[in-house]
Amino acid sequence: MPDPSDISDYPHYTTGEPVTDTAAPGGPIAERWDRRRFEAKLVNPANRRKHTVIVVGTGLAGGAAGATLAEQGYHVVQFCYQDSPRRAHSIAAQGGINAAKNYRNDGDSVHRLFYDTVKGGDFRARESNVHRLAQVSVEIIDQCVAQGVPFAREYGGLLDTRSFGGVQVSRTFYARGQTGQQLLLGAYQALSRQIDAGNVEMHARTEMLDLIVVNGRARGIVARDLITGAVSTYVADAVVLASGGYGNVFYLSTNAKNSNATAIWRAHRRGAYFANPCFTQIHPTCIPRSGDHQSKLTLMSESLRNDGRIWVPKAKGDTRPPGEIPEAERDYYLERIYPAFGNLVPRDIASRAAKNVCDEGRGVGPGGQGVYLDFADAIRRMGRKAVEAKYGNLFEMYERITAEDPYEVPMRIYPAIHYTMGGLWVDYDLQTTVPGLFAIGEANFSDHGANRLGASALMQGLADGYFVLPSTINDFLARHPHDAVPADHPAVTEAVAEVTDRLRRLLAVGGDRTPDSFHRELGELLWDECGMARTDAGLRKALGRIPALREEFWRRIRVPGTGEELNQSLEKANRIVDYLELAELMCLDALHRTESCGGHFREESATPDGEAARKDEEFSYAAAWQFTGTGSPPVLHREDLTFEHVHPTQRSYA
C-alpha cells in the first residue's frame, strides 16, 4: 500500500492557479455586506423588465429568488422537474431554521451565530460569507412571518424557539416537525403570486440538461419537457442554479427520489468549478434499510437522542431479541466512549461510532446494519405520557414504516446520507467561475465548510434566495451589457446536439441491466469507500471501479420506450450518467484531502483516541476542481482560507 500521506504518485489530477479573487470586500467583517451592496451598480427599475433571468429549481433558494427577482421587476423564467413548484425537497426538512434574533436574551448575537457556523464547519468555510449569512438570518424570520408562515408560538403570542444541534443558545425557529414545508410553501406562494401576475414564466415538469455558454458567459439552458420529451433552449441574461445537493449519488439517502446532480454537473462540465465534493453529511438517526427493495431512507429527528439511549449487544452476532439481553450484556457505546456528551455527540461522531460497532459485527436488525435507540429508561423516568407528548408523532412514523412499537421494543437506527456541503464553487456574490452563472442554496459550496449545523440549511437557502442573490445579480446585470443570442448560434446548437445525442444513445443501447441496478451498484460502492470513513486503499479501489462501471453502463443499460414521451426510465438513466462522473470526482477529492475534517473522515488522519484530526497547515483551503473531460485528470485550484475572527481549534467531545 502506498504511503497515505503521499498522493503525488496519484496521476489523476493536476494543480492549477489558486483562486485568489473571491469578490469579498475588505474592511471590518460586520461592514462587508453593507459595503458590497453600496458598491454594487443598480439596474434602473424601468430597465429591469428587459432583463431575463433563468432560475432552475423551486426549493427554498430557487423559490425565494424567483419571487424576489420578479418583485424587483426582472423577467424570470423558472424551471422544476416536479409537477408543481410546491414539491421541491426543501419541503421535507423537519427541524427548524436558525436566526440570531436573540429574542431569548440568552447571549445570542450575529457574531455568535457566525462563530458557531465557522467552528461547526470545522474551519473550512469562508468567513465573509458566513458572517453575511448570520446577519441576514434575522431578516428571514421577519419575511416568513409576514408571509403567514405559522411558526410555533408561545401563549403570549410571540415566537417560540428551541436549541438545536448542540449550541448553547435557543435560536431555532420551528413549525412542529414541518418547518421546511411551511417555509417552502411561503416561498411557493410568493412565487405563485408572481406567476399569476405574469412576471415569472414557470415551466414545471421540465428538467435542465445543459448550460449554454456564449463567449465565456452563461446565456441559457437546454431543457427537456418531461411530458412531451421536447428538448428546447431558453436564453437569458443570467442563469441561477438552485437545484439542490447531490446526496442521491449514493442511491440510498434521505433526499427525494428525483433530486439529482445533473444541472450542477452539466454546469461543471461547461466550466464551473466544483468545490469540496467529498464534504457530505451523514445523519445518525435514520430508519435502517429493511431489505434490498429499499428505495430511500427516512430521517428521524435528531431530538430523539435527547432522551433515547443508544446501545448494541456486547457480544458479536448476538441475535436475541433486545428485551432478552440483560443490562450487563449491553454496550451503551456513546456513553462509554464520550462520557461528557454521551448520546448527544455531534452528528458525524455519532454516525461513525454506529458504523464502528456494526463493522465489529455487533449491529442489530437485518444485515446487522442498525443500533438500538432505547426509550425504556425515559419511559420509566418520565412516564409513557410524557414521552408520548414529546415524541409521539415520531414514534408513530417509525411504527408506520417498521411495524414495531417503539414504546415496547427499542427503535433501530442507522446513519444515512443527508446533505452535501460541497457544490459549485461560488464567490462572495454567489457567482460561479462561469460569468453570469450563479449557484444558490445546497447547490453551492459556500457556507457550511466541512460540516453543516442543524437548522442551518433552511437559513442558507432562504438567505441566498431572498436577500443575497437579488442584490448581487443586480450588480452583474448592470455591469455586463450583452447582445441577444441568436437561436442558431453555434454554442446553442452544439449544446442541443449534445443533449439529444446523449438521450438517443441511452435509448439505443438496449442492454440487459436497468438504470436502478447501476445506480444501486454505484451507490453501494460510494457508501462503502467514500461514506462515513474513508481510506487511501478504499478510495483507490473506488477510483479503479468507477470508470469500469461507466463503461459497463454504456454497454449494458436498457432504457425502454422513446424520447418523445413521458419516460421515467430515460430520466433516471440520464441522471446516472452524471453520477458516474461526479462519483469519481468525490473519491478523488476525498483521496487528495489526506486530513479528516467535519463530514470527511480519513482513517489515516485520526487522533490517538480515534477522533478526526485536521491538518490546517496543509489543507486550510477549499478545493475547487476544474473539469477537463470524462475520465481525464481534473485541475485542482485552491482557495486558501484565512481565519481572522474565529481561530481554528481541534474539536473535543470526550
Partner 1 sequence: MDLTLRIWRQRTAGEAGAMTTYRVTGISEDMSFLEMLDHLNEELILAGDEPVAFDHDCREGICGACGMVINGQAHGPERTTTCQLHMRHFSDGDTIDVEPWRAAAFPVVKDLVVDRSAFDRIIGSGGYVSVPTGSAPDAHATPVPKPVADLAFEHAECIGCGACVAACPNGSAMLFTSAKVVHLNVLPQGAPERESRVLGMVDAMDDQGFGGCTNTGECATACPKGIPLQSIATMNREYLRASLKGGRRR
Q: Which residues are catalytic?
A: 347
433 binds partner 1 (CB under 8 A): no
Whose Cβ is closer to partner 1: residue 283's or residue 614's? 283
Range list of H helices, 97-178: 110-120, 127-147
Least distance from C-beta 610 to partner 1, angstroms? Answer: 33
Specify which residues 173 forms β-bridges with: 97, 161
Which residues in the 56-75 window bind partner 1 by CB under 8 A? 64, 67-68, 71
Of the residues 24, 29, 134, 185, which one makes contact with partner 1 according to CB under 8 A: 185
d(CA 336, CA 629): 49
Which residues in the 137-156 window bind partner 1 by CB under 8 A? 139, 141-148, 150-156
Of the residues 22, 172, 192, 620, which one makes contact with partner 1 according to CB under 8 A: 192
Phi, psi of 113, rounded to the nearest 5 degrees:
-65, -40
Which residues in the 452-511 window bind partner 1 by CB under 8 A? 466-467, 470
Least distance from C-beta 376 to partner 1, angstroms? Answer: 24
Whose Cβ is closer to partner 1: residue 138's or residue 376's? 138
Choices 178-186, 588-596, 609-617, 625-633; region in contact with partner 1 by CB under 8 A = 178-186
**Are 276 and 592 contacting, i.e. CB atoms less than 8 angstroms apart?**
no
403 binds partner 1 (CB under 8 A): yes
Tell me, by CB under 8 A, how many residues bind partner 1: 79
Whose Cβ is closer to partner 1: residue 142's or residue 551's? 142
Which residues in the 504-563 window bind partner 1 by CB under 8 A? 512, 514, 516-517, 558, 560-561
Of the residues 9, 21, 196, 644, which one makes contact with partner 1 according to CB under 8 A: 196
Whose Cβ is closer to partner 1: residue 230's or residue 401's? 401
The cell for 181 is 414545508
Tell which residue, 324, 300, 308, has the closest CA to residue 380.
Answer: 308
| Count of all residues that appear for the chain in the document | 654
Whose Cβ is closer to partner 1: residue 103's or residue 341's? 103
**Are 543 and 584 contacting, i.e. CB atoms less than 8 angstroms apart?**
yes
Write the secondary structure of 17-77 as one string of H (helix), E (strand) and C (coil). Answer: CCCCCCCCCCCCHHHHHHHHHHHCCCCCHHHHCCCEEEEECCCHHHHHHHHHHHHHCCEEE
d(CA 457, CA 560): 37
Whose Cβ is closer to partner 1: residue 97's or residue 357's? 97
Of the residues 43, 125, 236, 256, which one makes contact with partner 1 according to CB under 8 A: 256
d(CA 14, CA 592): 11
d(CA 576, CA 324): 45
Least distance from C-beta 136 to partner 1, angstroms? Answer: 11
**Are 373 and 285 contacting, i.e. CB atoms less than 8 angstroms apart?**
yes
d(CA 279, CA 505): 32
Choices 89-97, 271-279, 337-345, 630-638; region in contact with partner 1 by CB under 8 A = 89-97
d(CA 52, CA 70): 10
Choices 400-408, 446-454, 527-535, 580-588; region in contact with partner 1 by CB under 8 A = 400-408
175 binds partner 1 (CB under 8 A): yes
d(CA 249, CA 530): 11
d(CA 180, CA 177): 8
Which residues in the 275-334 window bind partner 1 by CB under 8 A? 290-291, 293-296, 298
Query: Among positive and negative, which fits the CA dihedral 475, 477, 478, 479?
Result: positive
Which residues in the 603-632 window bind partner 1 by CB under 8 A? none
Could you give the string, one character per residue 338-377, with x where binding to partner 1 holds by CB under 8 A and - elsewhere? ----------------------------------------
Of the residues 128, 181, 199, 574, which one makes contact with partner 1 according to CB under 8 A: 181
Least distance from C-beta 61 to partner 1, angstroms? Answer: 13
172 binds partner 1 (CB under 8 A): no
